[in-house]
Amino acid sequence: MVEYDYTKVIRQPIRVYQWRGKALPLATNGIKGSQIAATGAVLFVVFIIGLVLFSINPKMVMLVVTKGWLLIAASIGVVMWILFSISWDRKNAFTFFYDRIRFKKRQGKALEHGSMVDMPIGTKICYQKGRR
């Protein structure tokens, strides 16, 4: 009897296809949960920056919002496009930056079968002949 491979099912991202019973018109394949979370995080950061600036100088913030709302909306759109559309090394932005951070943390460390090697990189290793 062959068992079913559930790893293909588990690796599928969470997607939203409808909002309050109505299909999303521009997202026929659904919107990934990670995209929703990242969009919410970016909007939250923009909101917090706006609150901090508003507490420092409310007139300046009101001037920026009234005069530069198009620039703000365009920059948020560009950030969202960079996060979701551009791919480096055939990976999305989140996976690329995560892998780069892991690479930098592990750079210069020798691993063998997942365990740290005590000898520094570049050390000459001599093996002794033994009996068989």
pLDDT at 2: 65
> Does 45 map to a domain?
yes
Whether residue 1 is predicted with pLDDT greater than 60 in this model: the reply is no
pLDDT at 23: 86
> Does 88 map to a domain?
yes
Whether residue 21 is predicted with pLDDT greater than 80 in this model: the reply is yes
Range of 97's domain? 7-116
Cα separation, 26 vs 17, in Å, equals 10
CA terminus-to-terminus distance, the chain: 43
pLDDT at 44: 93
Q: Which DSSP category does 118 fall into?
A: S
pLDDT at 48: 93
How many folded domains does the chain comprise?
A: 1
Task: Name the residue with tokens 């950061």.
Answer: 45
* Span 95-126, pLDDT tens digits: 888 888 988 888 877 777 778 777 766 778 78
Residue 73: strand, helix, or coil: helix
* Span 40-87, pLDDT tens digits: 888 899 899 888 888 898 888 888 888 988 988 898 888 878 777 777
Task: Name the residue with tokens 């990242």.
Answer: 38
> Does 131 map to a domain?
no
Residue 61: which of 76, 75, 46, 74 has the closest Cα? 46
- For 10-109, strand residue ranges (E) read 15-16, 18-19, 22-23, 31-32
Whole-structure pTM value: 0.52
> Does 97 map to a domain?
yes
> Does 2 map to a domain?
no
